[in-house]
Amino acid sequence: SLCAAGPPNLSYQELKDLKKANVLHIDVRERWEIDRFGKIPESINIPLGELMEALQMDPTEFKEQYNQKMPSKSDPVVFSCLAGTRSKQALGFAMSLGFS
């Protein structure tokens, strides 16, 4: 598991390589940040304040809201934000809900 030794930091190239392997990439920046700074290709935006609720949604509801299959607790997921603080919080939230 990538987070066994604590939250990993990925380089841009490592993220690109992971995306080829069907890793779900969740960008936890606010929507205005996406509008202002741009969307990362093939990522879904779930602002940090919505993440706990989103990860506990019914899979059908998740798909309707985010246009993406809801990750299972064992699916590989990468979180990103602007500086790394919110993505570390997101990882903690996900792990507290049983995501590995």
Answer yes or no: 3 catalytic. no
d(CA 86, CA 50): 12
What are 80's two structure tokens?
């990103």
d(CA 86, CA 89): 5
Of the residues 24, 26, 48, 81, only one is catalytic, namely 81
Active-site residue set: 81
